[in-house]
Structure 1
Amino acid sequence: MKIAVAKETRDGEARVAVVPELVGKLTGLGYDVAVEPGAGLHALIADGEYAEAGATVDDAAFEGADLVVSVQPLSAQQIRGLARGTTTISFLPVNQEQQTVVELRDAGVTAHAVELIPRISRAQSMDGLSSQALVAGYRCAIVAAGMLRRFFPLNMTAAGTVQAAEIVVLGAGVAGLQAIATAKRLGAVVRAYDVRAAAAEEIRSMGAKAIELDLETLEGAGGYAREMTEDRADRQRELLTPYIAAADALITTAAVPGRPAPLLVTRDMVEQMKPGSVVVDLASESGGNVEGSVAGEVVRIGNAQVWGGRNVPSQMPGPASKLYAQNVVNLVTLMTAKDDEGSSVFSPDYADEILSGSCVTQDGRIVHEPTREAIEGAPAPEPEPAATSDDVPDEPSAPQDPQLDLPYDQEADQ
């Protein structure tokens, strides 16, 4: 069995899917690990480190591979070079990567999208979204501290007292909680808000103050918030405005995979912030939580500098790669079984909801239903069978006693 580690080809991607310290776990499962030359270069990992860990560094790493792992989706050229039946693991945002999905389907490649792994307890160790959000949340707080032209912590000196910076964080998922924790460690006064009911306690557990608005909470499936109505969104923005106006820095982290980010902060709200203030929008790539933010750029709105995040985990490629690589190893372990002789074999069990839920293409088909419908259209309805004489009753049925159709408890009460 062979696993190939791809060199990333997308601009700005500095992570790598496997780090040397985890090569031993894969070889321990019975795999040969082949790494494309330079795969870890941008994460400051030399080819020699992979070789010392037991991997082969080879230009022909993909040849004969059962599994190819990467961070970003493989390029069309890489996909066309794979043998039919090869399996891939990567991030694969299906709504934005429909042409890549078509390439994978046509090449007969079985593709797993890390972001489609179900959010269940058993899959937490494979959850690449959460591991990378952890990195992004830390990075957001550091960016805010670096851009703000004042101290984060309170300083009391013989020359006078410098008050702590006031930070507002919107969104208290993995990224938001890490941003809160990091800003608190740096000494800032932190207030945070999330639409989910459970978030207030999580915010307070990080030492921050929860912003509580007189609005209904919006609990959604899989730990995400459900979509709000426009009237509620307007009211939420109105109630948040004074908190944002008083903040030295605003960090927004609200996002739902595969969907546009919710607009939490309008341009008018940013224009009410004080001179020298900073806004960090982690969700810029998916539309932005802040109106006017631009992914990968710093723009000025009123008195504030607005930093738009772009592939933020890749800005810290060392820890991001290590965490993602562990996600990959855990997923590969789930795909590995023992044969009758006790030897390890690459044999994914698609009765497992983690593997079936994350699978996008298989055997020349798109098996992820929403993606298939988006690309190929909804399947045509099956024609109804023609009526035959056997389908027609000889005489009208006796009228049904309506009481027999009642639920058991209602029937008992009659």
Structure 2
Amino acid sequence: MAVIAVTRERRAGETRVAATPETVKKLIAAGWSVTIEAGAGMASAYPDADYEAAGAKVEKTLKATLKDADLVFKVRGPEAEEIAALKPGALVAATLNPYQDKDTLNGLATAGASAFAMEFVPRITRAQVMDVLSSQANLAGYRAVIEGAEAFGKALPMMMTAAGTVAAAKVFIMGVGVAGLQAIATARRLGAVVTATDVRPATKEQVESLGAKFLAVEDEEFKNAQTAGGYAKEMSAEYQAKQAELLTGHIAKQDIVITTALIPGRPAPKLVSAAQVASMKPGSVLVDLAVEQGGNVEGAKLGETVITANGAKILGAANLPGRIATDASALYARNLMAFATLLLDKEGALNPDYEDEILKAALVTQGGKVVHPNLAG
């Protein structure tokens, strides 16, 4: 029987866990044995006793947890001490941040591990249930609105009282992927007046279906600004200038701006300039969801709230899904559980088909080397 191990997350600020009692029970029913490092789920409100009740073996030490592990589930990439404790030929599935975290990839390759970057799971129909980017971005979009509302010194919905009327807050979402759509829906539920923008033409209808107003320069470049995989293309300098001109006046009137734009393997595009930030009202808030990849907002700092000279706040909080760790862990663990089904053959033995399009797309290290074509060299 193949063994899955789940270790305690060791990256600073990471509160999620890669398996929950629910997924442990289902993995065991599917033919796996599951070992959990003691305390792995505590920050996500999943105590050791619940894992044991689900059928997992709970080990007190990292070495004991990984000793027999054929497959290791992680949220973030494993640390050096975890890599050193892997048994030869172990498989690892995690969000490995492969474009930035080269040291972890090289460590996994040197250790002879076959590692899968869950970010590289292709966006095809049969892989939707494994799409960790979507499951976590959905929660990040929700949390971004909550964080922005908390930092904003006023109410979001319009309120009519005997003492007078409170105007509804104006919320602007920049980048309408999974996170942006959830941010729109959440801000609308809280009663804000919501506008949104994106370079992909297909998003206009989605924005309007959620009751928000769409804002973009709709020229020929805009009409062809989406890849076959559904990602935004990087736009030309000319388009960016036209879009910036349109948005400058709009941003100045907003109470909360949430930016969500990411380009795989590239630094996050700058969407809001220092001049645009300076045009905003005192007490207004910008929430930069791309801050871990350099940020969409000029002046954003990872892990910090920057208060500008004009009194606007730029929130650079890292790992927003980790701020709702119970739900984020539950969704991520289900993504991994679905991924694990690809690693067993029809007899239930661990026998990955590395020609499967999902495994092939996600595999980053194997046989002592970094093997993914996007990461070569």
Is TM more than 0.5 here? yes
In the alignment, is residue 270 of structure 1 matched against residue 277 of structure 2? yes
**2:258 counterpart letter in structure 1:** I
In the alignment, is residue 228 of structure 1 matched against residue 219 of structure 2? no
**1:300 counterpart letter in structure 2:** I
Conserved in 2, the CA contact under 8 Å of 1:296 and 1:310?
yes
Shift of 1:303: 2.7
Bigger drift between 76-85 and 210-219 goes to 210-219
In the alignment, structure 1 segments of 5+ residues that lack a partner are 374-414
Shift of 1:71: 0.3
Q: 1:249 aligns with which of 251, 256, 262?
A: 256
**2:3 counterpart letter in structure 1:** K
Shift of 1:83: 1.5
Conserved in 1, the CA contact under 8 Å of 2:171 and 2:254?
yes
**1:289 alignment partner in structure 2:** 296
In the alignment, is residue 315 of structure 1 matched against residue 323 of structure 2? yes
In the alignment, is residue 114 of structure 1 matched against residue 118 of structure 2? yes
What does residue range 232-381 of structure 1 map to in structure 2 within 5 Å? Answer: 232-301=239-308, 302-339=310-347, 344-373=348-377
Shift of 1:205: 1.2
Shift of 1:158: 2.1
**2:10 alignment partner in structure 1:** 9
Conserved in 1, the CA contact under 8 Å of 2:217 and 2:242?
no
Query: Cα deviation per residue 1:340-379 (whole Å; 9 max; x = unaligned)?
Result: xxxx111111111100110001122221022122xxxxxx
**2:133 alignment partner in structure 1:** 129
Taking every aligned residue pair, what percent have the same amino acid on both sides?
48
Conserved in 1, the CA contact under 8 Å of 2:234 and 2:263?
no
Bigger drift between 296-305 and 64-73 goes to 296-305
SS in structure 2 opposite 1:167? strand
Conserved in 1, the CA contact under 8 Å of 2:151 and 2:285?
yes
Conserved in 1, the CA contact under 8 Å of 2:216 and 2:246?
no
**1:392 alignment partner in structure 2:** none
CA RMSD of aligned residues (A): 1.1
Shift of 1:289: 0.6
Q: 1:83 aligns with which of 77, 87, 91?
A: 87
**1:263 counterpart letter in structure 2:** K
Alpha-carbon separation, structure 2, partners of 1:370 and 1:247: 39
Bigger drift between 216-225 and 149-158 goes to 216-225
Shift of 1:133: 0.2
Query: Cα deviation per residue 1:117-174 (whole Å; 9 max; x = unaligned)?
Result: 1111111110101100011000000011111111100111222211111111101000
SS in structure 1 opposite 2:88? coil
Query: Cα deviation per residue 1:11-32 (whole Å; 9 max; x = unaligned)?
Result: 0000000001111110011111
Shift of 1:67: 0.3
Normalised by the length of structure 1, the TM-score is 0.87
**2:65 counterpart letter in structure 1:** A
Query: Cα deviation per residue 1:278-327 (whole Å; 9 max; x = unaligned)?
Result: 11111111111110011111102223111013111111111100000000
Alpha-carbon separation, structure 2, partners of 1:366 and 1:166: 47
Shift of 1:256: 2.0
| Number of corresponding residues | 369
SS in structure 2 opposite 1:260? coil
Conserved in 1, the CA contact under 8 Å of 2:199 and 2:216?
no
SS in structure 2 opposite 1:71? strand
SS in structure 1 opposite 2:257? strand
The structure whose Rg is larger is 1
**2:313 counterpart letter in structure 1:** Q
Q: 2:217 aligns with which of 213, 216, 223?
A: 213
Alpha-carbon separation, structure 2, partners of 1:193 and 1:76: 41
Conserved in 2, the CA contact under 8 Å of 1:270 and 1:304?
yes
In the alignment, is residue 192 of structure 1 matched against residue 199 of structure 2? no
Alpha-carbon separation, structure 1, partners of 2:147 and 2:166: 21
Alpha-carbon separation, structure 2, partners of 1:223 and 1:51: 41
